[in-house]
Amino acid sequence: MTAKELINSNAMLHGWEKEDLCELLDKYPEIKTATYEQLEEFKQKRYWDAQALIDEAARIEEEADMINVFLNWIYKDLHKGE
């Protein structure tokens, strides 16, 4: 039985989980033959990648907040009476 067949025959998984797992197998076919330790490392790397994106999004949001401060306070004062 293939990995996808095992996934699709599992009654404990929701339909969306089955779809996501099958898409994951298509995207990363090497996980079918990976060891448990390799999968743990891969999983941790994906979490680190996600955290890096979250951190980057937070940094960008902070920049936008500071631009908003500039717009609402400093810019208006700089251009009073124009």
The first and second tokens of residue 65, run together, are: 């907040």
Can you give the residue range of the structural domain that contains 64? 35-82
φ and ψ at residue 43, rounded to 5 degrees: -60, -45
Q: What is residue 43's predicted lDDT score, i.e. its pLDDT?
A: 97
Q: What is the pTM of this model?
A: 0.71
Q: What is residue 80's predicted lDDT score, i.e. its pLDDT?
A: 78
Same domain, 3 and 27: yes
Same domain, 12 and 41: no
Count Cα atoms within 13 angstroms, Cβ side, for 30.
3
Q: Give the position of tokens 């699709």.
A: 8
Hey, how many other C-beta atoms are within 10 angstroms of the C-beta on 4? 14
> Looking at the predicted structure, is the pLDDT value of residue 49 above 90?
yes
Q: What is residue 60's predicted lDDT score, i.e. its pLDDT?
A: 98
The whole-angstrom separation of Cα 82 and Cα 76 is 10
Total count of domains within the chain: 2
